[in-house]
Amino acid sequence: MKLLVTGGAGFIGCNFVRYWLQRYPNDSIINLDLLTYAGDLTNLTDVAQNHPNRHQFVHGDIGDDRCVDALLAQHRPDVIVNFAAESHNSRAVLNPRIFFETNVIGTQTLLELARKHRIPRFHHISTCEVYGDLSLDSPERFTEAHPYRPRTPYNASKAAADHAVNAYFETYRLPVTISICSNNYGPYQHPEKLMPLFTTRALEDKPLPLYRSSHNRREWLFVLDHCRAIDLIIQEGRIGETYNVGSGIEKSIEDIADTILTTLNKPATLKTYVPDRPGHDRRYLLDSSKIQRELGWEPSIDFESGLPDTVRWYAEHRGWWETIQKKAGDQMVQEEAWSGQR
């Protein structure tokens, strides 16, 4: 099988590329990535070394129809897996336009060209945040039938992309599937995101910026469990269907900070509290019974071991994240600076 993976130099994308090439030794991947702030070729160093004939990297934009058209004409992939997205809620507050350009127009460009070239399968990666948020005491979980109620520019751009994917199925019968996943964690996540941010700050004995609503909760899934779910959906999922992918494990920002500090033997005094960013959601929780029932998927990495292992990975790969921080420079979002941003 030949796959076109978009956004394959980012966090989840690079883990998926690595997973797929290891699991399917006869398959090959064309990896299209624009290498914005979250995509980095150092995420793929071992892939380039271990699979030089089965992984081809292409520097390009999913919104560039000429580039995508030429790739599909040349390689005729069996599957497109669309990870490519601007994905940081905080960045979307500061610059929403780029999120709509990439996440909506970019996805529609891919869909249209997949239709033109009659690609046999198009799988799209979405986020639990399209459903909106839940109150902290709600007994509810988001099912695939839950209405979309996005509350931030990032969430809205991903919701719009999902609607475009579904529209191409309903209108043109493009063979699509969508996975809606909870928050991922694991190696190669950009140091601007929550767990790497707290880990790298703690390693440098710097303050950890917790939003004042520090008991807001997220559902957490180890990235390789997400990759396994995507694999199953591609292989066995029903065309035109959406599948929630979550662990059922909820943790607050306070919980995350405490676990990271304990793992690194750092003091709780490193925690500091900053204003919530605009549109800060309270809680997400997915009902993942559909993928469990239909495809037999369930998470395999326990959070109590997965997070400490992830923290240790960042401690052991200091050169990786220091290089990315240096490259980003003053473009890194300052979570301490939300006062006056509304």
Residue 57 maps to a domain? yes
Q: What is the pLDDT of residues 46-86, one digit of tens each?
A: 999 999 999 999 999 999 999 999 999 999 999 999 999 88
Tokens of 226: 């997400």
Q: What is the pLDDT of residues 228-265, one digit of tens each?
A: 999 999 999 999 999 999 999 999 999 999 999 999 99
User: What pTM does this model have?
Assistant: 0.93
- 45 pLDDT above the threshold of 90: yes
What own/partner pairs with CB < 8 Å and gap ≥ 24 does 39-42 have?
39/7, 39/9, 39/10, 39/13, 40/9, 40/324, 40/327, 41/9, 42/320, 42/323, 42/324
- How many helices and strands in the chain, by DSSP H and E? 13, 12
Work out the percent of the chain whose per-residue pLDDT is above 70: 94
Tokens of 325: 């921080």
CATH number (domain holding residue 39): 3.40.50.720
Provide the residue range defining the domain that includes 6.
Answer: 2-186+221-248+280-301
- 101 pLDDT above the threshold of 50: yes
Q: What single DSSP character describes residue 42?
A: G
Residue 202 maps to a domain? no
pLDDT of residue 107: 98
Tokens of 258: 């405490």
Residue 338 maps to a domain? no
| Overall number of domains in the chain | 1
pLDDT of residue 135: 82
DSSP string, 139-156: ---B-TTSPP---SHHHH
Residue 84 maps to a domain? yes
Residue 341 maps to a domain? no
Residue 204 maps to a domain? no
Close Cβ partners of 288 (under 8 Å, ≥ 6 residues apart):
243, 244, 245, 246, 247, 248, 297
Question: Of residues 342 and 312, which shows the higher confidence score?
Answer: 312
Apex CA 183: angle with CA 181 and CA 189, to 5°?
Answer: 115
CA–CA gap between residue 188 and residue 44 (Å, rounded): 10
Half-sphere exposure of 159 (CA within 13 A, CB side): 17
Q: What is the pLDDT of residues 169-222, one digit of tens each?
A: 999 999 999 999 999 999 999 998 999 999 999 999 999 999 887 778 889 999
pLDDT of residue 279: 60
Count the Cβ atoms, other than its own, within 10 Å of residue 290: 19
Tokens of 131: 């459903």
CA–CA gap between residue 111 and residue 250 (Å, rounded): 34
Stretch 128-138: mean pLDDT, rounded? 88
